[in-house]
Amino acid sequence: MANGFISRGFTGRRQANMAGRVPPGQYVTPDFPVLSAGPTPRVPLDEWQFRIEGLVDEPAEWSWEAFLQLPSREVVVDIHCVTKWSKLDTRWEGVSVDTLLEAVAIEPRGQFATVYCYGGYTTNLPLADLSDGKAFVAYRYDGQPLAPEHGGPARLVVPHLYFWKSAKWVNGIRLMDADRLGFWESLGYHHRGDPWQEQRYRGD
């Protein structure tokens, strides 16, 4: 650690009234940057599905039509990207992961999840970071259907962790008995990604 280092001549452009609201090393942007590792997958709604599988009594599966019938809610949250931007008061509509998990009986050892997506992206989370109101599958953003480049038809949103955990083009959740690293997590990013602990990279 380089504790005590001061950058000569740097005073900073502090953003007003952000104390306690923006994690360390983040800045607030009014934009909504798009960051993805490859081309945006196009998922026709009549082929879209969402599954919960793995260590459950019986996998659950929803078509787009069935998914829209699930109880939804509007959520306003701050989001924090590991590339340093934060966006405040983002407004989503979607289905709580708790609601989805009610459709299955999870085996007690199924405490870790791989979230998998159209296009091949994956991310890993402990079940505890997906349940108890901490995560939802969103299909509307700011009153509009979620755009493909922002993860539409539907994306996971886990606002208390860095935004790479909020997997775009989400296709399902697989419950497992061990934490298995996802896409960015196996490429040097932190396995959990708590922005308040500044868990950006492996070992942080």
* Shortest distance, position 80 Cβ to other proteins, whole Å: 10
Of 46, 51, 200, nearest to 137 by C-alpha is 51
What is the footprint of other proteins within residues 137-176 (CB under 8 A)? 149, 162-165
Mapping DSSP to helix (H, G, I), strand (E, B) and coil, where does residue 155 land?
Answer: strand
Query: Residue 95 corresponds to which tokens in the numbers above?
Result: 């289905």
When asked if residue 7 is in the footprint of other proteins (CB under 8 A), the reply is yes
29, 69, 144, 197: which one contacts other proteins (CB under 8 A)? 29
- Nearest approach, Cβ of residue 160 and other proteins (Å): 15
Helix (H) or strand (E) holding 172: strand 170-176
Site for other proteins in 81-110 (CB under 8 A): 81-85
CB atoms within 10 A of CB 203: 8
Q: How far is the CB of 103 from other proteins (least distance, A)?
A: 28
Taking CB under 8 A as the rule, does residue 2 contact other proteins? yes
Alpha carbons 6 and 3: distance in angstroms, whole number: 9
Near other proteins by CB under 8 A, which window of 37-45, 58-66, 102-110, 173-181?
37-45
Return the beta strands (E) in 72-162 as ranges: 73-80, 85-96, 112-117, 122-126, 136-141, 144-145, 155-157
Angstrom distance (rounded) from CA 155 to CA 146: 8
C-alpha neighbours within 13 Å on the C-beta side of residue 188: 1
**Chosen residue from 16, 17, 39, 71 binding other proteins by CB under 8 A:** 39
Q: Pattern of binders to other proteins over 42-81, x per CB under 8 A?
A: ---------------------------------------x
Which residues contribute to the site for other proteins (CB under 8 A)?
Answer: 1-2, 5-14, 24-25, 27, 29, 31-41, 81-85, 119-120, 149, 162-165, 183-184, 187-189, 200-204
